[in-house]
Amino acid sequence: MASSKKIGVLLMNLGTPEAPTPEAVRKYLKEFLSDRRVVDLSPILWKPILNGIILNLRPRKVAKVYQQVWMDEGSPLLVLGNRLRDGVQNALDQLEGQYVVASAMTYGTPNVESAANQFRREGVSHIFVLPMYPQFSGTTTAAAYDRLMNSLAKCPDWPTLNLYHDYADHPLYIQALAKSVTRQWEAQGEKRHLVLSYHGIPKRYVTNGDPYARRCEKTSALLATQLGLNEDEWTHVYQSRFGREEWLQPYADKTLASMPASGLKRINVISPAFSIDCIETLEEVTLELGDEFKHNGGEAFDYIPALNDTSEHIALYKDIILENTVAWRDER
């Protein structure tokens, strides 16, 4: 007799403030920037900077940015992420209701505990955890797993877990990115130089063993090959650096500022490290980098959206989930 137990799928992303207000942003930033995975400085040095300077100065500024991109239903990261979750659930519902898909944030809400409660209510005994970071980093994927394990620390019994690493070189991921690029080129009526901009991390993290840069470079190379681009038709950069420490290079802002002088005046930018559009893509890339490029002589700048809740993204996640839970399905 087949078991009635179901397979849970937990989609994890970074997090977002609950509202575009200084108070909500301060609460979110405190949790996010207190994580030693994100900022690995000694708490003795970091806490006075965080509590005395950053949390007093940045929340009001960041809240104004969130107000520019906030959607009617809430934060773009949450709204678009929920649409993707629902799309994946609908795609998996074809398999006789075996799967329950839930989402959780490493910081803020919805949290891991709320997803766990949903899984318990629906009789889930096995959980496949899929962090929504295409390229593994200790600052993102590992931080998500730390949060998950902390939530289980006091549990007397654990579900069976399968923790996914990343999908930086998954064929369906590369194909989905390529389709989004060609769709943009067709819509604008021309093929442009392609800038691949990834969220940066301190260079020291990579020197100490974080594979993030290597995985980003793998994605860029595979996407360029999929699109048939020559080396002079695409550029790989890193955005979002913070503080005085050296981060991964080349830096996006400096690179884009120099492009028009070298003859590259019409470009497209895509951010493959982001599965869902958020403040870093909708504001930092679209507005800040776009303004930097145009201020220095650029003529055309268009951002290519993240995969969000597209059918290609849903198909990618469905394939990853089915491939990594096949043994569990056979047990039922």
178-197 pLDDT per residue, tens: 999 999 999 999 999 999 99
Q: Is the pLDDT of residue 1 over 60?
A: no
The 3-state DSSP class for residue 41 equals coil
- Looking at residues 114-134, what average pLDDT do you find? 95
Among the listed residues 268, 260, 257, 254, the one whose alpha carbon sits nearest the alpha carbon of residue 301: 268
- What's the rounded Cα separation, in Å, for the pair 307 and 276? 6
What local confidence, expressed as pLDDT, does residue 157 receive? 85
What local confidence, expressed as pLDDT, does residue 4 receive? 63
* pTM score: 0.94
What local confidence, expressed as pLDDT, does residue 62 receive? 94
Tens of pLDDT, residue by residue over 239-253, are 999 888 999 999 999
Tell which phi-psi region holds residue 249, choosing left (phi > 0), alpha (psi between -120 and 50) or beta: beta
Q: What percentage of the chain carries pLDDT values higher than 90? A: 92
Taking each helix axis from N to C end, the angle separating 112-121 and 141-152, rounded to the nearest 10 degrees, works out to 60
Taking each helix axis from N to C end, the angle separating 76-92 and 311-324, rounded to the nearest 10 degrees, works out to 60
What local confidence, expressed as pLDDT, does residue 329 receive? 84
- Alpha-helical regions (H) of the chain: 22-33, 43-49, 55-69, 76-92, 112-121, 141-152, 171-188, 203-207, 212-227, 252-258, 279, 290-295, 311-324, 326-331
pLDDT: is 2 or 279 the higher one? 279
Q: Taking all residues of the chain, what is their mean pLDDT, rounded to a whole number? A: 95
- Looking at residues 291-311, what average pLDDT do you find? 98
- Looking at residues 6-23, what average pLDDT do you find? 96
Q: Is the pLDDT of residue 154 over 60?
A: yes
Q: Is the pLDDT of residue 158 over 90?
A: no
What local confidence, expressed as pLDDT, does residue 65 receive? 93
What local confidence, expressed as pLDDT, does residue 2 receive? 42
Tens of pLDDT, residue by residue over 34-43, are 999 999 999 9
Radius of gyration of the chain (CA): 20
Q: Which amino acid is at 326?
A: V
Q: Is the pLDDT of residue 77 over 90?
A: yes
pLDDT: is 75 or 153 the higher one? 75
* 332 — pLDDT class (breaks 50, 70, 90): low
Give Cα 66 distance to the centre of its chain.
Answer: 17
pLDDT: is 331 or 42 the higher one? 42
